[in-house]
Chains A and B, each alone.
Chain A
Amino acid sequence: MIGTPIFDVFSTLLAGVNHASRFNDGGALAAGAWMIPVVPMVMAFLIVFFGKRSPWKGWVMATGTMLFVAIYGMALFLMNLVEGITYQGSVWLSDVGTTAFGVLNVEWGWMVDGLSIMMYFLVGVVGVLIFWYARGYMEDDVRYTWFFASFTLFAGGMLVLVSAPNLIQLIVGWELVGVSSYLLIGHYWEEHQNSSAAIKAFMTNKVADVGLFVGAIIIGVSVGSFRFSEILGVVEGESGDSTLAKYAFWAGLAIFIGAMGKSAQFPLHVWLPDAMAGPTPVSALMHAATMVTAGVYLIGRLFPFYMNDLFASDVRTVIIIVGAATLLLAGLLALVQDDIKRVLAYSTLSQLGYMTAAMGAGAYTAGLFHLFTHGFFKALLFLGAGSIIHAVHSNNMSDMGGLRKYMPRTFWTFLIGSFALAGIFPLAGFWSKDEILASIQYDASHGGGAVASTVLVVAIIGAFVTALYMTRTVYLTFFGKYKGDAHPHESPKTMTLPMVGLTIGAVGLGALNIPGITTWFTDSLAARFVAPGDHHATSIEWVLAIIGTAAALAGIALGYRLWHRDAAIQRDRDTFRIPVLYPLLENKYYIDDFYMGNIIRPVRGPLARAVDWFNSHIIDSVVNGAGYLARGLGKTVYLFDQRGIDGVINVSGFAASFAGGMLRLFQTGRVQHYAIMIFAGTVFLVVGLIIF
């Protein structure tokens, strides 16, 4: 009884915990952090079954869960600021195998270190504000309870992902995020284009997951363990002749392909703009704290692996180029959108490009700091956009204009969010973007070479473009005359208060990490089992800060010139028409068309049909042909037999006519009759065997 697997788990729950401590082990707070992923996962199920009967039809359960995560995350965050926590807990679930690869250890664990604590904090705090907001926004939704169940699952999946101490659990969380985003993007599945957008998101991620799977398998098998602590232990040991080092480039590249899917990097970015089909709170959470941050998080998690020259440091060149391409190309796309959510979506892509480029430049702290601050102001912008959409019943900026008079609170918070995004001093975005620029500059002079120098220029141009499209958005939305048909009004307090909360973050969080003055964020993020080994600025780079600010101001100035006047009546000037570039931007660089026309349609159409045809016309025809051939043979032999030739022929004649008889079933349909014969024959043979 005791040996039965189900009973063992209880004992391992108590005994299987392990931790190593370079910093503080976090005590009971860290040991209990398993609740951070588990509570939302369990709650998501409970809401499905009991939500409708609970207060506020499941909203209390969902938001209470997020509040719990937020408070727990905040407590850990503060504690980590004070003394740095590294803790790793695990529950052993199963062992598989012993020979070729060693033992595959299936375990459930929770990581409590600087990186995951930052994510707990971000997901929890931003999450609870968005959940709060969603009560007002989703009020009349047909599937209100279901929405909060899948929303909780979405946040829970992300928490499973960031709490994972090993690659397998990370994959579990990774896919949970994917599937819940599929549910949420397709929330209004009555319309075909929404479910198509959901499928597009899932499939694009699935393509990238091939990379993640392959990379995880290579790393796991090479190291003999999927645990980050052991993988990075091998890296720290710097043994260039290890199996991991041998495959490090390919493994690193494969993992990065996985990250490109979730973090929507060029050219796997196509799903993110379409993901706007989901309700706005979903977009807010997806673009701020969960899902798109997962890829950057993963690179951060494996950072020493990407930093070490004996391992995957060559991949960083790929990473920085992909990041730079994304930040510029997506930023340009944001210039020509009419749908306000699409503007923000492309802006997210662009900002993710910054983060990725920073990771590629070896700037662990800078990249993740931007991830952190961006989480706040992007959530703020999305909630603002949602508030506007709620008021004017349209996503299109051509139906907006002049809204600052009708919705002042939305206007002011949105404006602050836009300035933060554009990187205006002293808002949070300024500090994080500046640190990225400084890191790329450092990389350019420390081995990054011409690539990094080019990326630096691209990043500065990107800052200009960012300011330009945000200025455009603000003018088209809030200035000029109102162009729509609805009666715009300020949103209720349940919606505006969370926006105010996020505004505080967008304004003040830069103070966590001012080079040379405060190092709170840097220090807390450095609480890792294996030191990330990055470079971070220790003083403000004045020249870069001034250039970056100048680029942003120039963007605002140009935007002002282009859109401030007559924006109310001049629909023609809503879009930014540069002769050569515009058709390219309008068609999203033809990438979606390329995928659709050259991959998806051919596979789903001609190729699939060809395989089906091959199956029924070739393989099956061989089978059917053999059947009919045998029957024909049977008939011939039977005729031969009937004409009086006996002896040896009789035997084969019997066999052949038996076969012929069976095959005649193709036409007669008297299946019972013949089947009984077969049955009798079989029984006869079996009985014969027993007797003899």
Chain B
Amino acid sequence: MPQSPLRTRIWSAATWFPAVLFAVMLSTVAKAADVKVAVAANFTEAAKEIGYLFEKETGHKAVFSFGSTGQLYTQITQQAPFEVFIAADQARPEKAVKEGFAVPDSRFTYATGKIVLFSKNPDFVKGEATLKDGKFNKIAIANPKTAPYGAAAVEAMKALGVYDDLSDKIVQGNNIAQTYQFVDSDNAELGFVALSQVAAKTEGSRWIVPEDLYATIAQDAVLLRGGEKNEAAVAFVKFLKGPKALEVKEKFGYGAGK
């Protein structure tokens, strides 16, 4: 009896499937020198550049996942396979150490961040007066519960005494990257974003929020348990502390860490 076409197809699938599976397994073995890094969204651009330099110098490849610090931390508590955690605050990396997700003593401040009030419109932002006048429909901030840059924005608005007046106009980005997208797409006229996001840009108008209006955004990184035995992860942490990474951080407007 001739085989039905369907059966032939199933048989051929049965022969190539193990081969594919084997190839996939091989490729994961070959990539063992990768390091999986969870990165707070404000550090996106800098991390990409650091990752590029890291790969050039060491041959290891850094694979980044971006999100808000809170999101990433939740994923870490649920055994996400990250090996390094680059947060936008100190609290979550500290908690990661305390709760046993990170290697004790590996925590360090890699940078300090600044917030900036930014608008795409060239003449829109004119310092704190813009906030006090409140002549806009929507102002974007990052979710203050999960994103330290959002928390800093709320703190600054409170310090200026405009928070209550503006609270109806606030829209929240899921992380600082989405917040910037809201402003860049002009759906919100202005917003508090990370200086690193607009440091390289000349367009729009901006007001770098004076640092006495909010607590310094000290950003910590930590080696996670999963990366303890991965030479690439250890190397990446070292690289992040090094001079080449520092150059990148400064380029994006970050203050030096410790």
- Bound pair (A, B): no
Taking beta carbons and an 8 Å cutoff, which residues of A are in contact with B? Answer: none
Residues of B within 8 A of A (CB): none
